[in-house]
Amino acid sequence: MEKEQYQQLEQQVTPKPPYLKNIVKAFFVGGIICTIGQAVSLFYMTFFNFTEQTAGNPTVATMVFFAMILTGLGLYKKIGQFGGAGSAVPVTGFGNAVISAAIEHKSEGYVLGVGGNLFKLAGSVVLFGVVSAFFVALIKYILVTLGVVSW
């Protein structure tokens, strides 16, 4: 059997990823995580002196804390398998990436293991997040200067 022929066979046999099902699942899992985040945010506004502006920071920290507990208990990977992007895109997914790497590399010590590998997965999120933020800001700055939009 030739390569091309085999690749055809492979295409036939391999099931197509259930995109629609995955999207619906991701929508609900992501929605639930964000609803919890909103509740945490409201909690900080109701019981502490945080405004909508400033409640973001403690909310993110709390959500990462929840992600940490779920990761440590081995539950986040189950949520991830079910929810896909729904659990990977919110900040809890970022927390999971950092924390799972920390747990994994603890065996190599705190400096070379945990320290060196903490951002193994999340590193590119940080890098490209900063880079894309820079470009978005640059484009907006140009548009504002040209008078197309206002800040």
Partner 1 sequence: MKKLQTVLLLLLSISIISGCTDKEKFIVYGSPQNEEELKAVLKEEDYVEKTTVIQHDDKMLVTVQIKPWDKWKKAKLEKKLQKKFDELYPDKEVFVSADYKIYYEANKVKKDGLEDEEISDKIKELKKLAKEEA
Partner 2 sequence: MVIIFQTKPSILAGGVVAGPLEKRSTFSQYFDAISEDERWQMKTNEQGHRKMIQEACEIAMKKAGVKNLEVDFFLGGDLINQMTPTNFAARELAISFIGLFSACATSVSSVIIASLLTELGASNFSIAGASSQHNAVERQFRYPVNYGAQKPATAQWTVTAAGFALIGKHNDNLPSIEAATIGKVIDFGMDDPFHMGAAMAPAAFQTIQSHLEKRKQKFYNYDLILTGDLGQLGLKLLKGMFAESGVKQEELTLIRDAGTEFYGQDEAFQSGASGAGCSAAVFYSYIDQMMRAGRYKRVLLVATGALLSPLSYQQGETIPCTAHAIEITMK
Which of the ranges 39-47, 69-77, 120-128, 139-147 carries the binding residues for partner 1, by CB under 8 A? Answer: 39-47
Does residue 10 touch partner 2 according to CB under 8 A?
Answer: yes
| Closest C-alpha among 61, 44, 120 to residue 95 | 61
Tell whether the torsion through CA atoms of 120, 28, 64 and 51 is positive or negative: positive
The answer to the question of residue 148 lying near partner 1 (CB under 8 A) is: no
Contact (Cβ atoms closer than 8 angstroms) between residue 137 and residue 143: no
Residue 99 touching partner 2 (CB under 8 A): yes
- Contact partner at residue 130 from partner 2, partner 1, none, CB < 5 to 8 Å by partner kind: none
Integer angstrom CA distances of residue 91 from 53, 61, 63, 65, 146? 17, 9, 7, 10, 35
57 binds partner 1 per the rule CB under 8 A: yes
User: Is 5 among the residues that bind partner 1 (CB under 8 A)?
Assistant: no
The letter for the amino acid at 137 is: A
- Residue 118 is a binding residue for partner 2 (CB under 8 A): no
Residue 46 site contact among partner 1, partner 2, none (CB < 5 to 8 Å, cut-off depends on kind): partner 1
CA pseudo-torsion sign 141, 145, 150, 151: positive
Question: What length is written for the chain?
Answer: 151
Q: CB count, 10 Å around CB of 135?
A: 9
CB 33 within 8 A of CB 90: yes
Tell me, residue by residue from 92 to 111, as one string, x for binding to partner 1 by CB under 8 A and - for no binding.
--------------------
Binding site for partner 2 (CB under 8 A): 1, 3, 5-7, 9-10, 12-15, 17, 22, 71-72, 74, 76-81, 83-85, 87-88, 93, 96-97, 99-101, 103-105, 107, 120-121
